[in-house]
């Protein structure tokens, strides 16, 4: 199967909501307003994968600082002196899984970060995805300030834990 990776547009937001609803437990679903605000803050760091003109996966990123965690469902804010590209949300429809689509989206983000001279990628691992991210060279970062630990805990839902992870480029 062939998938096209491209920058996200505002026209993709309805598809993004659909993919998010399939990929995440209800606890992690973010409102359309929050998704839109995040995209508008950083439109050059959000990608989609499409097949035959239909969006089936996405990766939303933004510039941040290592160790800074945005609370779940809270608007993003511009970060002065950003030193990493934060991979906020990667999600795929079930029909797109197993074809390397996630890997292609992650590589698009890595290439973009490197082109902007970033030295680090960061993310939160949720829904038992820690081993997936380790496979891309991410490792858990535990040297978080108290407020950032509190922000991390907004991602704990049900039996799920969340882990802040980083990858040096």
Q: Which domain holds residue 13?
A: 4-168
Which residues partner with 62 through β-bridges?
86
Query: CATH no. for residue 152?
Result: 3.40.630.30
> What mean pLDDT, rounded, does the chain reach?
91
In the sheet that 163-168 helps form, which strands lie side by side, from edge to edge? 4-7, 46-51, 54-64, 84-92, 120-125, 163-168, 139-140
What's the average model confidence in pLDDT over 140-156? 93
103-127 confidence digits (pLDDT tens)? 999 999 999 999 999 999 999 999 8
41-93 confidence digits (pLDDT tens)? 888 999 999 999 999 999 999 999 999 999 887 877 788 899 999 999 999 99
Spatial separation of the C-alpha atoms in residues 106 and 112, rounded to whole Å = 10
| pLDDT band (50, 70, 90) for residue 159 | low
* Number of domains present in the structure of the chain: 1
> DSSP string spanning the chain?
---EEEE--GGGHHHHHHHHHHHS-GGG---HHHHHHHHHH-GGGEEEEEETTEEEEEEEEEEE-TT--PPTTPPP---TT--EEEEEEEEE-GGGTTTTHHHHHHHHHHHHHHHTT--EEEEEE-TT-HHHHHTTT-EE-----HHHHHHHHTT--TT---EEEEEE-
């Amino acid at each position: 199967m062939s998938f096209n990776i491209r920058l996200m547009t505002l026209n993709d937001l309805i598809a993004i909501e659909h993919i998010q609803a399939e990929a995440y437990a209800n606890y992690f679903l973010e409102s359309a307003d929050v998704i839109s605000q995040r995209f508008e803050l950083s439109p050059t760091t959000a990608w989609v994968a499409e097949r035959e003109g239909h969006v089936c996966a996405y990766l939303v990123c933004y510039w941040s600082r290592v160790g800074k965690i945005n609370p779940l469902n809270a608007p993003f804010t511009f970060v002065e002196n950003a030193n990493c590209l934060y991979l906020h949300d990667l999600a795929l429809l079930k029909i797109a899984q197993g074809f390397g689509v996630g890997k292609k989206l992650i590589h698009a983000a890595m290439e973009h970060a490197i082109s902007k001279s970033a030295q680090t990628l960061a993310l939160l691992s949720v829904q038992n995805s820690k081993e997936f991210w380790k496979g891309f060279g991410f490792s858990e970062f535990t040297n978080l300030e108290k407020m950032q630990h509190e922000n991390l805990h907004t991602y704990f839902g049900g039996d799920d834990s969340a882990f802040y992870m980083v990858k040096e480029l």
